[in-house]
């Protein structure tokens, strides 16, 4: 699609049921992101995402949407400490997690890791620009590429990681002109998030898109308001239970029902 100039749609996803509906809606790529730490497990940071849980969630998404490209997001410290460990963990995403590609937050200094993963047969999406796993160094989530020097660094990171073998790039929270330069210089598909319209693909956190996030980022424009719908459904169920109106089809006894016992029998 990138080669044909056809934009492709990506969303985060964390379970098989949702994956099935997103696939029916035509979404091309499902990212099982470390944002699951926040939207599924209730943490305040993405770096608290356990590797084992994310691998299991990735497999569930692929089983729910086998026709979609499923991307497993390698969580904090699953690849940074040791290249060999990073390759092994990436391989687990493909074998146990059924992923088609793994995503790592990286810069030019991690080109060697991308090369080793690629050499092992693991397709890699290199995530440049704003990198949420580094939020502790920047006192929170921040944008990237907003000065000439930082913009040049984002472009160099993308170029070095592609040359190392990255099969895709993801650029996050940069000015549109920076993303456009990354796209112009890339020979692989580029996915954007908060990076303007020029990227080959676009991704958002699903909860931000459907109106279930309390405080979505400014670049995420909701297209639905499912949060209030969930609230209304829950409220109706509470009301029905209080009135003993559970609804649905009831089971019936077979063979004539329950015989009552004579009074006084034990």
* Cα 263 to the center of its chain, rounded Å: 63
CA nearest 127: which of 191, 82, 198? 191
Is 259 among the catalytic positions? no
Other CB atoms within 10 A of residue 94 CB: 18
Active-site annotation holder among 6, 105, 172, 177: 172
Give the Å distances, CA to CA, from 126 to 50, 103, 110, 111, 239: 20, 6, 10, 9, 49
Distance CA 130, CA 61 (A): 25
Residues annotated catalytic, as ranges: 172
């Amino acid at each position: 699609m990138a080669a044909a100039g056809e934009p492709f749609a990506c969303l985060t996803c964390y379970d098989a049921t949702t994956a099935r509906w997103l696939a029916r809606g035509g979404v091309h790529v499902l990212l099982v992101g470390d944002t699951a730490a926040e939207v599924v497990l209730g943490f305040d940071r993405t770096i608290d995402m356990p590797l084992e849980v994310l691998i299991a969630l990735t497999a569930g998404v692929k089983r729910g949407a086998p026709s979609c490209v499923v991307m497993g997001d390698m969580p904090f410290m699953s690849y940074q400490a040791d290249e060999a460990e990073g390759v092994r963990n990436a391989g687990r995403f493909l074998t146990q997690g059924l992923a088609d590609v793994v995503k790592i937050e990286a810069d030019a200094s991690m080109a060697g890791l991308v090369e080793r993963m690629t050499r092992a047969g693991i397709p890699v999406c290199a995530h440049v620009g704003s990198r949420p796993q580094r939020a502790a160094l920047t006192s929170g989530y921040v944008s990237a590429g907003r000065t000439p020097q930082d913009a040049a660094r984002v472009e160099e990171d993308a170029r070095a990681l592609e040359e190392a073998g990255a099969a895709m790039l993801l650029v996050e929270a940069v000015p549109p002109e920076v993303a456009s330069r990354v796209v112009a210089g890339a020979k692989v598909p580029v996915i954007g998030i908060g990076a303007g319209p020029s990227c080959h693909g676009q991704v958002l956190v699903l909860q931000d898109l459907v109106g279930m996030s309390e405080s979505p980022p400014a670049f995420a424009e909701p297209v639905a308001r499912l949060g209030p719908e969930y609230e209304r459904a829950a409220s109706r169920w509470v009301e029905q239970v209080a009135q003993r109106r559970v609804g649905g089809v009831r089971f019936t006894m077979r063979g004539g029902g329950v015989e009552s016992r004579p009074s006084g029998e034990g």
